[in-house]
Amino acid sequence: MKATKRPATTSASNSHSPKFKSVLVVSAHPDDPDFGAGGTIAKLAKDGARVTYAIVTDGSQGGEDPNQKDSELIAIREKEQKAAARVLGVRKVEFLGYKDGHLSPDLKLRHDIVRMIRKYKPELVITHLPGRVLDAPMGGSHPDHLAVGEATMAAVYPDSRNPRAFRSLLKEGLQPHEVKEVWIPFWTSGDHLVDISSTLDQKIAALRKHKSQVAKPGREWDFEKFMRKRHREVGKKGGFRYAESFKRITV
């Protein structure tokens, strides 16, 4: 898989951004797609793309109370994710049900992501960076993020396009599919900027739905102020009021 580098001033030009009919967002936890790419997801949906989320884990470690039942937190986070997805115009949310905090990029995970790719036939896949970033907050390098990023990249190429990979999926009627592009949210240094000036408010409204994550007792934080500052800084690189930054990879 070869990464195509473009100057930010040209790749960020909204008028020349590609149109997609189908988009699959593969994320480790509930809330990851909305934090990482919510403004872009809303924009893609407004432009007519059918956007689907594949949430790999159950989110059961995303809490501060060790006495809370896993089943209770899982149900809360699924409900929050579905509500946030509706705000952004996402058509479908799939929960793969892996245990939070226990992921590895093994063949089982690759198989299940290939199933999602062949089922929804996305032209664009958005997922995590398959490697640790040392010049950004550590939250972006969660081990589950790394595992999902690596497994998704392998699922995109070579697995999803290869009829000899995971042949049991053929018996389910899931034919090989070739993804056109992969976008990976980058903290600030991606080579593709998306103008989210018109959808940042939607992103913030979606994040508010993740109440269990942004309003933890004793751990509350002003995520709106944080997001506006971050996306304003990214936007300056492309002449936008607000932008999200991605590494854009052609397959």
Query: Average pLDDT for consecutive 10-residue bins of the chain (251 residues)?
Result: 40 60 98 97 98 98 92 98 98 98 98 98 97 80 96 98 98 98 88 97 97 78 90 95 96 91
CB contact at 8 A, 199 and 46 = yes
Domain residue ranges of the chain, discontinuous segments joined by + = 2-250
Q: Which CATH number fits domain 2-250: 2.40.37.20, 3.30.360.10, 3.40.50.10320, 3.40.50.300?
A: 3.40.50.10320
CB-count burial class (<10 Å; 0-12, 13-18, 19+) for 216: middle
CB contact at 8 A, 127 and 26 = yes
What is the reported pTM?
0.91
pLDDT one-digit tens code per residue, 121-138: 999 999 999 998 887 778
State how far the Cα of 128 lies from the Cα of 27, in Å rounded to an integer.
7
